[in-house]
């Protein structure tokens, strides 16, 4: 059995991972190639505004799906999975409409003084649109995972990033300083319609005759436990730009955004692809043997072998690399990147393996861990600002906290893989 699992891992597992990673590699390669141009046609503050927009929308997008997309792979019949997608689309529309009314109320009625700067820009009205299509795209991605259409996932991811990157350059050359936000929204819309047209899914989804409330009730454990859990996780990842915009400045947010954008490329290209395949293979192994310990250990070793050289090299050369690629003004972002590399080294390994919390329905435990991570991460940033008045020190304390919690999550995910939790 052990040899059989290892053979599956070496062949089909890596084949599927490679399929997902290839398209992502191409699209993210375009991001890297275009960044030296974008940093010269957009200001540091423009990157800061984009980061604040992304942080707010991604945070609220967690609620827009109810986390029901995580249940798409569970029903035995495809028609039942399509009913879940229909639920997500309707839920996403309703919640996005609520967000729009909330923005109008805060911006136009009570003239709320937003220290982050989000409401100061007209692009705040694009947030509900972006949130709605994030919900749709997430549902479609999980549907394609269910169908094991990894090539389509890869292509659609590439379509989204390529469209957003090309449009960013066009808008930048036209002098539209908020062009990256417009491009971001248009990119995900294009990707969604690409999948709908390619697969002919819209008629299949809407022909499903079902009581939406009955579907929602059947999989109620996902919103019940996963919304707070994933809000905590998203907060721990996305609240840094918001805190920096309040405690420091939009320029600091811009430096952090560029460092985070570049350093998360290995995670985007590699770990997201591994996570998608590992999750499906883990489900199969658990059904057959009751655990996935062998698959877990093999995956962990491969992740370690990839993560260590990548982030060690980044730690060494980040400041010089940022100055050379993006110009002298971005040197500070290079020092931010050096600090971020410390915890991304561990996160690179933990992220794919954490999918076991969903597979074994340990959402409550994950929710608690992620909530604590977000709380202590926020306190770490605040501590650096109050006692050191230094964005770098805030990042150092945040990174130390992230390392500790990622190690804790690895400990629990291994116990889950071994069927000891």
Averaged pLDDT, 289-314: 92
**Position 35 in a domain:** no
Which of 218, 249, 282 is the last residue in one of the domains?
218
CA distance 54 to 411: 31
CA angle 250, 182, 169 (to 5 degrees): 85
Q: Are 203 and 346 in the same domain?
A: no
Name the burial class of residue 306, with classes exposed (0-12), middle (13-18) and buried (19+) by CB atoms within 10 angstroms of its CB.
middle
| Same structural domain, 69 and 142 | yes
Taking only the tens place, the pLDDT of each residue in 172-186 is 999 998 999 999 999
CA distance 234 to 79: 31
Tell me how many domains the chain contains: 2
Percent of the chain clearing pLDDT 70 (strictly above):
91
pLDDT in tens, 75-102: 878 888 888 888 999 999 999 999 999 9
Torsion on CA atoms 45, 62, 236, 71, rounded to nearest 10: -140
Q: What angle do CA 273, 278, 284 make, to 5 degrees?
A: 140
What are the pLDDT digits (tens) for 330-384?
Answer: 999 999 999 999 999 999 999 999 989 988 888 788 878 888 888 898 899 999 9
Q: Span 204-225, mean pLDDT?
A: 79
Do residues 108 and 151 both lie within one domain?
yes
pLDDT of residue 210 exceeding 70, the answer is: no
Final residue in a domain of this structure, among 195, 218, 241: 218
Would residue 188 count as lying in a domain? yes
233-268: buried (b, 16+ CB within 10 Å) or exposed (e) per residue?
A: bbbbbbbbbbbbbebbbbbbbbbbbbbbbbbbbbbb
Q: 201 and 63 in one domain?
A: yes
pLDDT at 6: 53
Q: How far apart are CA 210 and CA 348, in angstroms?
A: 40
- pLDDT given at position 334: 95
Nearest to 351 by CA among 280, 291, 410, 411: 410
Q: Which pLDDT does position 13 carry in this prediction?
A: 63
Region 268-278: mean pLDDT is 79
The verdict on 91 and 5 lying in the same domain is no
Closest-CA residue to 63 (of 135, 133, 124): 135
Q: Are 44 and 251 in contact (CB under 8 A)?
A: yes
Last residue of a domain, one of 189, 218, 247: 218
Task: Please report the pLDDT score of residue 272 as a whole number.
Answer: 75
Q: Are residues 253 and 395 in the same domain?
A: yes
Q: Cα angle vertex 119, ends 116, 125, to 5°?
A: 135
Q: Please say if the pLDDT value at position 214 is more than 70.
A: yes
The reported pLDDT for the residue numbered 345 is 93
Residue 174 main-chain phi, psi, to 5 deg = -85, 0
Q: Which residues contact 367 (CB under 8 A, 6 or more apart)?
A: 225, 226, 228, 229, 232
Residue 116 — pLDDT band, cuts 50, 70, 90?
low
pLDDT-based confidence at 5, cuts 50/70/90?
A: very low
Of 193, 256, 216, 268, the closest CA to residue 83 belongs to 216
Q: What is the pLDDT of residue 25?
A: 74
- Could you tell me how many residues make up the chain? 421
Contact 86, 206 (CB under 8 A): yes
48 part of a folded domain:
yes
Determine the structural domain holding residue 240 and report its residue range.
1-21+220-421
2 and 113 share one domain: no
pLDDT score recorded for residue 305: 92
Q: Are residue 253 and residue 386 in the same domain, yes or no?
A: yes
| In contact, 135 and 88? CB cutoff 8 Å | yes
Mean pLDDT score of the chain, rounded to an integer? Answer: 86
pLDDT at 9: 46
The 3 state secondary structure assigned to the chain is CHHHHHHHHHHHHHHHHHHHHHHHHHHHHHHHHHHHHHHHHCCHHHHHHHHHHHHHHHHHHHHHCCCHHHHCCCCCCHHHHHHHHHHHHHHHHHHHHHHHHHHHHHHHHCCCCCCCCHHHCHHHHHHHHHHHHHHHHHHHHHHHHHCCCHHHHHHHHHHHHHHHHHHHHHHHHCCCCCHHHHHHHHHHHHHHHHHHHHHCHHHHHHCCCCCHHHHHHHCCHHHHHHHHHHHHHHHHHHHHHHHHHHHCCHHHHHHHHHHHHHHCHHHHHHHHHHHHHHHHHHHHHHHHHCCCHHHHHHHHHHHHHHHHHHHHHHHHHHHHHHHHHHCHHHHHHHHHHHHHHHHHHHHHHHHHHCCHHHHCCCHHHHHHHHHHHHHHHHHHHHHHHHHCCCHHHHHHHHHHHHHHHHHHHHHHHHHHHCCCC
Do the domain assignments include residue 90?
yes
Q: Are the C-beta atoms of 349 and 304 separated by less than 8 Å?
A: yes
What's this model's pTM, rounded to 2 decimal places?
0.78
Same domain, 253 and 393: yes
Q: Which residue has the higher pLDDT, 126 or 70?
A: 126
210 shares its domain with 299: no
- Give Cβ neighbours of residue 148 (< 8 Å, ≥ 6 apart): 16, 280
Are both 274 and 173 inside the same structural domain?
A: no
Angstrom distance (rounded) from CA 357 to CA 416: 8
């Amino acid at each position: 059995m052990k040899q059989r699992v290892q053979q599956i891992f070496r062949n089909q597992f890596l084949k599927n991972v490679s399929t997902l990673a290839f398209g992502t590699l191409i699209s993210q390669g375009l991001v890297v190639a275009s960044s030296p141009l974008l940093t010269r046609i957009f200001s540091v503050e423009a990157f800061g505004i984009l980061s604040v927009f992304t942080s707010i929308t991604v945070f609220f997008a967690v609620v827009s799906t109810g986390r029901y997309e995580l249940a798409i792979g569970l029903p035995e019949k495809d028609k039942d999975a399509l009913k879940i997608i229909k639920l997500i689309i309707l839920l996403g529309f309703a919640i996005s409409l609520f967000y729009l009314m909330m923005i109008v109320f805060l911006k136009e009625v009570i003239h709320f003084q937003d220290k982050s700067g989000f409401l100061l820009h007209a692009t705040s009205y694009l947030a509900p649109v972006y949130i709605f299509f994030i919900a749709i795209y997430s549902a479609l991605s999980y549907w394609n995972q269910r169908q094991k259409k990894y090539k389509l996932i890869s292509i659609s991811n590439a379509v989204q990033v390529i469209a957003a990157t090309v449009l960013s350059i066009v808008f930048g050359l036209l002098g539209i300083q908020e062009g990256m936000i417009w491009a971001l929204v248009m990119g995900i819309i294009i990707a969604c319609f690409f999948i709908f047209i390619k697969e002919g899914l819209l008629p299949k989804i809407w022909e499903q005759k079902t009581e939406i409330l009955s579907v929602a009730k059947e999989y109620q454990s996902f919103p019940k436990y996963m919304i707070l859990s994933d809000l905590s996780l998203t907060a721990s990842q996305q609240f840094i730009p918001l805190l920096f915009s309040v405690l420091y400045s939009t320029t600091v947010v811009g430096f952090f955004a560029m460092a985070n954008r570049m350093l998360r490329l290995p995670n985007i290209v590699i770990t997201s692809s591994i996570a998608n395949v590992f999750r499906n293979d883990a489900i199969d192994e658990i059904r057959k043997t009751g655990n996935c310990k062998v698959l877990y250990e093999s995956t962990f070793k491969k992740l370690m072998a990839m993560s260590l050289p990548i982030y060690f090299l980044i730690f060494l050369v980040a400041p010089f690399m940022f100055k050379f690629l993006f110009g002298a003004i971005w040197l500070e972002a290079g020092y931010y990147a050096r600090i971020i590399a410390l915890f991304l080294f561990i996160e690179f390994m933990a992220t794919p393996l954490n999918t076991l919390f969903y597979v074994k329905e340990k959402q409550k435990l994950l929710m608690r861990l992620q909530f604590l991570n977000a709380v202590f991460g926020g306190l770490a940033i605040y501590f650096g600002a109050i006692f050191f008045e230094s964005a770098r020190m805030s990042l150092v304390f945040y990174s130390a906290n992230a390392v500790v919690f990622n190690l804790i999550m690895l400990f629990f995910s291994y116990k889950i893989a071994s069927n000891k939790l």
